[in-house]
Structure 1
Amino acid sequence: MNATPSGGLRPSFAMALTIGACGGAVFTWIGMPLSWMLGAMTTAGLASILHLPVKGWARARPPMSAVIGVMLGSQFSPHTLESAALWWPALIGLAGYLVVSAVLCTLYLRRMVRLDPVTAFFSAMPGGLIDMVLLGTERGGDERTIALMHSSRIFLVVLGLPPLMTLVTGADPGARAAAWRPLANMGLADVAFFLGAIALGTALGRLARLPAPFLIGPMMVSMALHWSGTTGFTVPSAVIAVAQIVLGTTVGCRFAGTSTRRILHILLTSAGSTVILLGVALIFALALQYVIDVPVEGILLAFAPGGLAEMSLIALALNLEVSFVVVSHISRIGMVILGAGLVSRWRLAR
C-alpha cells in the first residue's frame, strides 16, 4: 500500500499521476485514439522502466472503478435485455475462445519460454489477474512472474487494440470517439444520483461479495436508476478522462520496483502470448459477426483479455456497444476463474 501513515497520498503516486496526465495531454494534442488512457499508461510505464520514483497506489483504483461502474450502468437501457437474448452464440463462442487461447498460450509458455507447468498455466489464462495470482501461488507457481505476465498482457492489449481495429476494419478509432459531454450538463440532482449510486453500489457490492464489487455494485445501482426512469444523467467527459488517467497510470506503474532487464524480458515474453490471444480473438470475432448483430470491432473488444474496466472504457471512448462488452467480460472472468480452478485441481490430482 503506497500511502502515508496518515492515509494520504504518497509523492511517488502523485508524481506518477502527474506524468500520466502529461502523457494523456500530449497524446490528446497529437490526436491519438484513447489518448488519456494510452498516454498515461505509456508515460507511467516508461517512468517505471527508467526507475523514476513512481509507484501505484492501491486506494486509487476502487473509487475510479466505482465511477466507471456508474458510467457503465448509465449505458444500459430497456432494450438491452432484448438484445442480450440474441447474444448467446457469442457467449458460446467466448467459451471456445478461452479454451483455444489458453491451450495455445500454455504450450507457448511451456515449450518456447520454458516456464514451469503451474506458472505457465496460470500466466496463460486470459483474464482474472488477482485471482490467477492467488490460485497460481496456492498451486506452487511463481507469484511474481504470474503477476508481471498478466500486468504486461493488460498493458499490451490496451496498447495494441486501436491499431488492430484500424488494420481489420479500416476505421479510425479517433473518429469514432463519443461526443464531448460538458460538466455544465450535470445538474445538482444528477450529481446527487451519481454520488448516491457510487455510495450505495459500493456498499451493496461489498455486502453481497460480488466479483469486482467496486465496479459491479455501482453499475447495477446505476442500471436500475436508468432503467426505472428515475434519472437519465450522463457522466461528463472530463470525469471519464480523469478515470482514464488514473487507470492508465496504475497499469503503467505495475512495473515499478522491477529491474529494467526483467521488465523488458517479461514484455517480450508476454508479447508472444498477447499476439496469440488477440489473433484467436480476431478469428472468433470475424466468424461471429455473421451470427450476431454486433460489429466485428465490438466483438473483438468484448473478447480481448485486457481487463474489464479498461475494455469498458475503450468501448465508451469508441462509442461501441458497451452493454455487450460488459456482459462478455464479466462472463469471461467467471469462466476463467471457474475453469482454471477446476483444470488445475484435476491436473494436480493426477
Structure 2
Amino acid sequence: MPPLARHCLALAIGAAGGALFYALHLPLPWMLGALFATMAAALARAPILGPNRLRPAVVAVIGVLLGSRFTPEILDQAGAWAGTLAILGIYGAMVAAVVVPFYRFAGRFDWVTAYFAGMPGGLTEMIELGEANGARPAPIILAHSLRIVLTIALIASWFRLVQGQTVGTGMTAGAGALTWLDALLLLCSAVIGSLLGRRLRIPAPDFLGPLVLSAALHLTGLTESAPPGLLVTVAQVLLGTVLGCRFLGISSGTVAPAAALALGATLLTLGLALLAGLAMGRVAGIAPDQALLALAPGGLTEMGLIALAIHADVAFVALHHVARILLVIVLAPLAFRLLRARRRAP
C-alpha cells in the first residue's frame, strides 16, 4: 500500500477505536481508544503508518487549549509553588534511585540501558542521550513508550472508574464564544508559538510555544475562547493514533515481557508520586488529584489533557512537567558521567 493509504487506514482505525471507547463511556475515549486500536493493529502487523507529520499541528492545538485555562487568579498561587518544585526534584531523584535498579535486576538490562530506561524524562530525549552513551535503543523505546501508555490508562481509569469523574468530555466547557477575532488570535498562538519554540530550542516546542502564547493572551484578557470541541476531538484521535503506531515493527512476543516490566516500573513510580503528592499537600495545600497529575510521568501533553478534563489546575500540572523534563535533561547526563567515572576509578 502507498504511504497515504497506510496513513488513512491508521486514522480510520484510530477513529473507530475512539468512537468505540466513547460509546462505552470509557475514560479519555478519543485518545485512549485511538491509541489502543492502532497499537493492536501495529502488533498484528496491519499495513498502517503513523501520521507523524501531523503531530506538531496536533500538539499545538492541545497547547492552545491548555493555555486557555490560564487565568489571572493563577498568578496569586504561583508563590506557593516553590516548595512543590523542590519536592518535585526530590521525587525525581527517588524515581531514578528505584526504577533504574529495577530495570537492571528485574529486566536484566545492562547498567547504561537501565539508566536511561528508568529516568523519568521524555521519550525522545532519553533515546538520544542513551544512544550517545552506548545504551541499546530498543529497550529504552519500549520502556518509555509503555510507561506513557500505562500511566495514561491507569490515571484516566482511576479518575473515571474509581472517583467517578468525567474524563474526556466537555474539555472546552466554560470557554467564551469563539468569534473570528478569537479564532485568529488562537491560530496565531499555535503558529507563532511553534515557530518561537523551535527557534528558542525549548523542550516540546510545538506544544509549549503555543501553550505559553495562548496563556499570555488569556492572562491579559485579550480572549476567553478555546479551540472548538470538534477540533479538540480530532486532535486527540490523531495523537492517540501517532502513539499507537510507535509499536510498528515490534512483535507481540517482545511487547509482553516489556509490558510486564513497564507495569512494575510504572506502579513503583506512581507509588512514589503519591507520597510526593501527599508532601505537596502538607507543604502547599495542593489537592492529591492535582499533585498526582503533576508528578505522574505520563507525558506533558497527555497529563495536561486529563487535568483539563477533571478541571484541575492546568498551569500547576504543566509547570511541574516542564520542570521535570528540564531537570532530567540537564542532570541525568551529568549524573551518568559522574557514576561512570566512579566505576572506572581504581
What do residues 77-102 of structure 1 show as CA deviations (whole Å, max 9, x unaligned)?
A: 22222211111221111111111111
The answer as to 2:53 corresponding to 1:98 is no
Equivalent-residue separation in structure 2 for 1:26 and 1:52 (angstroms): 19
The answer as to 2:157 corresponding to 1:163 is yes
In the alignment, is the contact (CA less than 8 A) between 1:51 and 1:256 conserved in 2? Answer: yes
In the alignment, is the contact (CA less than 8 A) between 2:29 and 2:168 conserved in 1? Answer: no
The answer as to 2:253 corresponding to 1:261 is yes
Equivalent-residue separation in structure 2 for 1:297 and 1:184 (angstroms): 26
Q: Give the deviation of 1:125 after TM superposition.
A: 0.6
More displaced stretch, 80-89 vs 319-328: 80-89
Of 220, 227, 235 in structure 2, the residue corresponding to residue 235 of structure 1 is 227
Change (3 A) 1:180 1:224: closer
Q: After the TM superposition, which residues 181-220 of structure 1 pair with which residues of structure 2 at under 5 Å, given as runs?
A: 181=173, 185-220=177-212
The alignment's TM-score, normalised by the length of structure 1, stands at 0.92
In the alignment, is the contact (CA less than 8 A) between 2:28 and 2:167 conserved in 1? Answer: no
Structure 2 residue aligned with 1:36: 30
Structure 1 residue aligned with 2:81: 87
Equivalent-residue separation in structure 2 for 1:266 and 1:282 (angstroms): 24
Q: Give the deviation of 1:179 after TM superposition.
A: 6.1
Partner-residue secondary structure (3-state), 1:10: helix
Equivalent-residue separation in structure 2 for 1:182 and 1:48 (angstroms): 38
Q: Give the deviation of 1:142 after TM superposition.
A: 0.2
The answer as to 2:203 corresponding to 1:221 is no
The answer as to 2:123 corresponding to 1:129 is yes
Q: Give the deviation of 1:268 after TM superposition.
A: 1.5
- How big is the alpha-carbon RMSD for the aligned residues of Structure 1 and Structure 2? 2.1
In the alignment, is the contact (CA less than 8 A) between 1:125 and 1:336 conserved in 2? Answer: yes
What do residues 257-292 of structure 1 show as CA deviations (whole Å, max 9, x unaligned)?
A: 111211222112211111111111112213322332
Of 109, 114, 118 in structure 1, the residue corresponding to residue 112 of structure 2 is 118
Structure 2 residue aligned with 1:20: 14
Structure 2 residue aligned with 1:141: 135
In the alignment, is the contact (CA less than 8 A) between 1:41 and 1:249 conserved in 2? Answer: yes
More displaced stretch, 270-279 vs 9-18: 9-18
Q: Give the deviation of 1:201 after TM superposition.
A: 1.0
Equivalent-residue separation in structure 1 for 2:76 and 2:175 (angstroms): 32
In the alignment, is the contact (CA less than 8 A) between 1:40 and 1:248 conserved in 2? Answer: yes
Equivalent-residue separation in structure 2 for 1:146 and 1:242 (angstroms): 29
What do residues 169-228 of structure 1 show as CA deviations (whole Å, max 9, x unaligned)?
A: x52132795466499942211211111111211121122222211111111211222222
Partner-residue secondary structure (3-state), 2:163: coil
Percent sequence identity over aligned pairs: 38
Alignment length (residue pairs): 342
Of 294, 297, 307 in structure 2, the residue corresponding to residue 315 of structure 1 is 307
In the alignment, is the contact (CA less than 8 A) between 2:156 and 2:167 conserved in 1? Answer: no
In the alignment, is the contact (CA less than 8 A) between 2:167 and 2:309 conserved in 1? Answer: no
The answer as to 2:293 corresponding to 1:297 is no
Change (3 A) 1:32 1:103: same
| Structure 2 segments unaligned to the other structure (5+ residues) | none
Equivalent-residue separation in structure 1 for 2:223 and 2:167 (angstroms): 29
| Structure 1 segments unaligned to the other structure (5+ residues) | none
Structure 1 residue aligned with 2:277: 285
Structure 1 residue aligned with 2:46: 52
Q: Give the deviation of 1:318 after TM superposition.
A: 1.7
In the alignment, is the contact (CA less than 8 A) between 2:103 and 2:114 conserved in 1? Answer: yes
Structure 2 residue aligned with 1:173: 165
The alignment's TM-score, normalised by the length of structure 2, stands at 0.93
